[in-house]
Structure 1
Amino acid sequence: MIKTDELRGIIAKNNLSQAKVAEEIGITPKTFYEKMNKGVFGSDEIEVMIHLLKIENPVDIFFAKE
């Protein structure tokens, strides 16, 4: 399960919009919002976000246990 609140914070810290992140990972903003609500992204999308957002500890965000 993805910690979407933390991911939103990291996106904001990088001065990006969720729409811009969606564009960078190759999906529409609508699809991005749906994936955020479900807390599910594909591994290729996660990889792009890790690099784009300079996430140092991706396991803590993308592979969090409830």
Structure 2
Amino acid sequence: MKTQKLKGEIIGNGMTLTEFADEVGISRPTFYRKIKDGSFTIDEAIKMAEKLNLSDHDILYIFFAK
């Protein structure tokens, strides 16, 4: 998972990580843990991608690249 790219997309959309976590329905501590270890579920990744209006390319790069 490319956490820096995800963080950049969140900030680029004018939100803090905490605000974004609230937007997607993940508690702040859980969101920060998941961003650190890349353990988002597919459903969470889809929800985040929709909120950030990510392209298919960005989705693959952020969530599935090694």
Q: TM-score, normalised by structure 1?
A: 0.88
- The number of equivalent residue pairs is 64
Query: Per the alignment, in what secondary structure is the counterpart of residue 39 of structure 2?
Result: coil
Show structure 2 runs of 5+ residues with no match: none
Are residues 1:12 and 2:11 paired?
A: yes
| Corresponding position of 1:63 | 64
| Corresponding position of 1:43 | 42
Percent identical across equivalent pairs?
39
Q: TM-score, normalised by structure 2?
A: 0.88
Query: Per the alignment, in what secondary structure is the counterpart of residue 44 of structure 2?
Result: helix
Q: Deviations over 1:24-65 (max 9, x none)?
A: 222111110010110120111101110101111200110002
- Aligned mates of 2:41, 2:24 — CA distance in 1: 10
Q: How much is the aligned-residue C-alpha RMSD, in angstroms?
A: 0.9
2:27 partner letter: T
Point out the structure with the larger helix share: 2
Query: Per the alignment, in what secondary structure is the counterpart of residue 19 of structure 1?
Result: helix
